[in-house]
Amino acid sequence: MDETVKKDIISTLTRVISVLDSKKEEGFMEIKELSNTTIHNSSIFQDEDSISVAVIVYAVSKIVERTGEVDKKLKQHIIEMRKFLVEGHLQNFHRAIRNTILHISKLDGKIKMYIEQVMQQGRIKKGSKLYEHGISIARSADLLGISQWQLLDYVGKTTMTDATPQSLDVKKRLSFARELFRGKK
């Protein structure tokens, strides 16, 4: 695992644990934003660990948002993920990721159904973020274990593909070009 990615994941997990400990409502909204920070690394390094952590953090934000409670066992899984990564035990870290995802999917009643849906939607949303960072639809879908059709459907409904880069007016571009050629003698 790349050292930059490792530091970023540790930082993200540390912040999630801190927010879960504080139990402050405004902090719970921050958890959702934290899942986006790991997407940046995954778009650069195409790192599956960052994607898994991003999806888990997003699911945690939805669980807390819906229930208003912090699941103690889920928090413990996140603490274990961080501990194993800090200690450099990548095999145990990967096992902790799988256990966390299993725990999320095994939550009781309506939450179980909701979380499965959230996990799937989280993968699709994070796939769109990868695409937004310049990774192809095919690679984004492959990294997240979703179909290209699901991702294309979501991307097609967003406005990210409608955005056009802002350009300078003609006078500013001409002035910039003249400056470039003046400096080159």
CB 129 within 8 A of CB 40: no
Dihedral sign for Cα atoms in the order 170, 176, 180, 183: positive
Tens-level pLDDT at each residue, the chain (185 residues): 778 888 888 998 999 898 888 866 666 678 777 766 666 666 666 677 887 888 788 788 877 777 777 788 989 999 999 999 999 999 999 999 999 988 887 765 555 565 566 667 777 877 888 888 788 888 888 888 888 888 888 888 776 554 555 566 778 777 877 777 776 54
Instruction: Write out the two tokens for 105.
Output: 């999917």
Structure tokens at 172: 């500013």
Please give the structure tokens belonging to residue 166: 């802002």
The residue length of the chain stands at 185
Give the per-residue SS3 of 31-52: HHHHHHHHHHHHHHHCCHHHHH
Range of the structural domain that residue 55 is part of:
3-183
Threshold 0.95, pTM exceeds? no
Into how many domains does the chain fold? 1
